[in-house]
Amino acid sequence: MLLDVRDVSKRFGGVQALSRVSLTVTAGEIVGLIGPNGAGKTTLFAVISGFERPDEGAVTLDGRACVGLAPYETCRLGLARTFQLVQPFPDLTVLDNVMVGAFNRTRAVAEARAHAREVLGVTRLEPYADRRAHGLPIGLRKRLELARALATRPRLLLLDEVMAGLNPTEVAETVGVVKAVRDTGVAVLVIEHVMAAVMDLSDRIVVLHHGEMIATGTPAAMTRDARVIDAYLGEPMTAP
Residue 38 lies in a domain: yes
CA 29 to chain centre: 12
Neighbouring C-beta atoms of residue 36, cutoff 10 Å:
14
CB neighbour burial string for 42-68, b if at least 16 within 10 angstroms, e if fewer: bbbbbbbbbebebeebebbbeeeebbe
Position 231 pLDDT exceeds 80: yes
Single-letter code of the amino acid located at 226: A
Whether 150 maps to a domain, the answer reads no
52 assigned to some structural domain: yes
> Domain span at residue 34?
3-87+156-233
Q: What is the pLDDT of residues 53-90, one digit of tens each?
A: 999 999 999 999 999 999 999 999 999 999 999 999 99
Asked, for residue 101, whether it belongs to a domain, the answer is no
CA distance 228 to 87: 33
**Which residues lie closer than 8 Å to 55 by C-beta, 6 or more apart?**
9, 10, 11
Residue 225's CATH number:
3.40.50.300
The span from the CA of 114 to the CA of 220, in Å, is 40
- Which sign, positive or negative, has the C-alpha torsion 67, 71, 76, 79? positive
Rounded to two decimals, what is the model's pTM? 0.93
H or E segment and range at residue 178: helix 168-183
- 108 and 117 Cβ atoms separated by less than 8 Å: no
Neighbouring-strand partners of residue 64: 61
Does 181 fall in a domain? yes
> Residue 140 falls within a domain, yes or no?
no
β-pairing, 64-65 vs 187-191, is: unpaired
Grouping H, G, I as helix, E, B as strand and the rest as coil, residue 124 is coil
- Cα distance between residue 55 and residue 47, in whole Å: 10
pLDDT higher than 60, residue 240: no
Number of structural domains, the chain? 1
Assigned domain for 122 exists: no
Residue 187 · residue 202 · CB < 8 Å: no
In a domain, residue 115? The reply is no
80-135 per-position pLDDT tens digit: 999 999 999 999 999 999 999 999 999 999 999 999 999 999 999 999 999 999 99
For residue 235, the model assigns a pLDDT of 63
